[in-house]
Structure 1
Amino acid sequence: MSKPQAGRKVGEREALAVATTVRGSPYKLNLVAGLIRGKKAEEAITALAFSRKAMAVDVKKCLQSAIANAENNHNLDVDRLWVKEASVGKAITMKRFATRARGRSSRIIKPFSRLRIIVQERDINQEAGE
């Protein structure tokens, strides 16, 4: 009487990695995620390594996790992986207060974001068709 096993959340030749609490706004994270959408995995890692955006560090970690999942869990060829999807969403928001003049206070909002990266193994014919 155990729970039935959940199916895969992605396709047959795909792997997934999710970063649930990335410190920063979804807008800023989406700018960096846009750099890697549709690129080969190797090119995407290079682009993130040389990006001057602070969020690139967290995106690179998540991408490397997706590549490792593809290699170790799903037996996919690392050289033929490309970034199929890099989606960003809102996560929790910390609320803090700062003291202001004349005994007042104002709210400071510290947002967290959620990053979901899917890498897919592509055939050699599909790569040539680009």
Structure 2
Amino acid sequence: MEAGAYIKNLKISPKKLRFLLPAIKKMSPVESLDYLFYTPKKGAKIFYKAIKSAITNAKAVLKTSEDLLKFKVLTVEEGRKLKRSQPGGKGTVKPIKKRYAHIKVILTVGTAESVTEKKLAVINKEKKESSKFLPKGQSSFERKSQISKGRLTSSKPKFKSRESGKDKKL
């Protein structure tokens, strides 16, 4: 089952709306509302209203909680173009295109298990990446505490000087 919203003829260019798409697609609809609320762009306010409308439609049609929803389709399409002209230098006319956009938001129901599994997978991946460069038996917390106490120093790269063949530390 799916539910959504299709908002037409928004007076903003599609290029300005597409700038926000990659960040929003990675999040759940509820998280994206929080993100968009504090983003200082005109497109963020428009996306906020569109996603909020899609969430309320999904709650009414699908009868599920907001936390279980996820994006199926989130696109920005080109609308009509109003062609206007502005006087230019030496009697010429400069064409202007005033672009409009359409937003399509479709939400589906994801299972609660899949949401928690994704979060666990991300946490496990972060742990693996952070433990790659540590010696065996040493946690990242221990290493950070030793660095802050001054026991471990970061090694600086050695470069050979041109005049002498000796190594110098920078």
TM-score range, shorter chain: 0.7 to 0.9
Shift of 1:48: 0.5
* Percent identity for Structure 1 against Structure 2: 24
> Which structure is richer in relative contact order (CA contacts within 8 A, separation 6 or more)?
1
Q: Which residue of 2 aligns with 1:23?
A: 11
Shift of 1:45: 0.1
The one of 59, 69, 74 equivalent to 1:71 is 59
Unaligned 5+ segments in structure 2 are: 119-170
Q: Which residue of 2 aligns with 1:83?
A: 71
Report Cα offsets for 1:31-90 as digits up to 9, x if no partner: 112221131221100110111221111111100110010011232222211223211111
Name the amino acid aligned to 1:54.
K
Q: Which residue of 2 aligns with 1:35?
A: 23
What is the TM-score when the length of structure 1 is the normalising length? 0.83
Q: Which moved more, 1:62-71 or 1:22-31?
A: 22-31
Return the alpha-carbon distance in structure 1 between the equivalents of residues 42 and 22 of structure 2: 14
Return the alpha-carbon distance in structure 1 between the equivalents of residues 26 and 107 of structure 2: 9
1:1-130 to 2 correspondences below 5 Å: 12=1, 14-130=2-118
After TM superposition, which residue ranges in structure 1, 4 or more long, deviate above 4 angstroms?
none
Larger Rg: 2
Return the alpha-carbon distance in structure 2 between the equivalents of residues 84 and 106 of structure 1: 41
Shift of 1:119: 1.6
Name the amino acid aligned to 1:19.
I
Return the alpha-carbon distance in structure 2 between the equivalents of residues 40 and 89 of structure 1: 21
What is the TM-score when the length of structure 2 is the normalising length? 0.65
* Number of residue pairs matched by the alignment: 118
Return the alpha-carbon distance in structure 1 between the equivalents of residues 54 and 16 of structure 2: 21
Unaligned 5+ segments in structure 1 are: 1-11
Return the alpha-carbon distance in structure 2 between the equivalents of residues 60 and 33 of structure 1: 12
